[in-house]
Each structure stands twice: as C-alpha cells, then as structure tokens.
Amino acid sequence: MARLPRLGWPGGDEPLIAEVAGHLGGSGPAILGAPLVLTTPRRNLRPFLPIPFAMYAMDTWGVLFSRLPISLPRGIPLTRPPWPEYGLLLAEAAASRSEDPWHRVGAVVLRPDHSVAGVGYNGAPAGIEIDWADKEERLPLVIHAEINALRWATPDEVRGGLLISTRQPCPQCLTSIAAYQLATVFFRDRADDTTALAQRLGLAMHAI
C-alpha cells in the first residue's frame, strides 16, 4: 500500500512517528486509501495535523478522530480510557513516588463527576525515618496509599465517587473508604481477600 509523505514541522530531534491507518472502519471512508504518517519532536507530543489531503463526507464529523486507530511508540494507545483505567494510570504514576521496595502502591480518588479529588502513595509519615530494608518493622509505620489519597478530599465532595488503587485495599483502608461514602473501589493487584468486608461496608469492589 502506498504511503503519504511524512508530515511534521522543521527542527526537533528524533521525530516520533504515529501511523494512522487509512481505513476508519464501519461506513467511514479511507483517507486517500493510504495510512497517514505524522512526525512530532520528541519534546512536544501535542498532535500536529496539517490537512494536505481531501476529506470526504462522513456520518458525523465527530466520528473522525474518535475512530482513528492512532498508536504511539511503546504500545501507548492514543484513545480515551474508561474512568477506572484512567484512574489506574494516575495511581500507577503516584506509586512510582513510593520508597517502599516491597510494595509500591498508588491510589486516586475521583469525585462523582470523575474529577480528581486526591492522589497518594504509600510512605512514611512526615518527619519519620523508616528502615525500608526491614519488611516487618516497616509495616506499622507506613501510611497506605488509599489514606494518603483520601486526606485531600472531604466526604461531601466524594460521596458516590470512585477510589482506584494499584493494590487491593486492606481492611483498615476499606473502612476509611466507606467512611468517605465512596461507592466503588477498583484495584489492579490482588492481596488479602477483602471482598466480603467491602460488601459488608456497602462498597462495590472490582479488579481491573
């Protein structure tokens, strides 16, 4: 299949390339029957889309960018993830800040309108030094990611919202989550099974 020329702007170092498949699927037409190749400078990933090609009538204009299968290097999809997965991405970023070599955990609290109310990771209380090499000694000293995320929120603003964590919340964290009247908990990694407790506290809990 023929390719359009690479499109980009002058300068920039080591362009990143995103290929947009020509076929949009469904009743959408192809764009000149060929994939479009975009280049962007590595330090600026904002889309740059000159339009040197013809664009035909479509069912709705909004379907164009919602259905283009664009992918970036390293397998990062340029799509809108569902809210739980969006929250998990934020929680994973928070987890990267944790000093705990045994479990690096991140959590995020989303309000009912899905705006971010709080983000946290597991770590030491302010002013307290922890010997992270001692797996057991560190346990009673660590503030869990869920608690650190909740401390930025108030029960009124997050009532009915979501908490997303990279690890299944422990019983103490679930109790605090219920106290904030959150509706649903999502987690990535399984730990001790707290499903029955979540149900008892009126929380819906799901693995992602």
Q: Which residue numbers are catalytic?
A: 146
204-207 and 184-189: which strand pairing?
parallel
- Determine the Cα angle at 95 with ends 92 and 100, to 5°: 150
* Contacts for 91 with CB less than 8 Å, ≥ 6 apart: 106, 107, 108, 119, 145, 164, 165, 166, 188
Tokens, residue 29: 């037409």
CA atoms within 13 A on the CB side of 119: 15
Count of helices and strands (H, E) across the chain: 7, 9
Nearest Cα neighbor of 95 from 2, 201, 187, 161 is 187
Q: Report yes or no: 118 and 109 within 8 Å, Cβ to Cβ.
A: yes
Q: Helix, strand, or coil here: 74?
A: helix
Name residue 83's amino acid. W
70-72 and 76-77 strand pairing: antiparallel
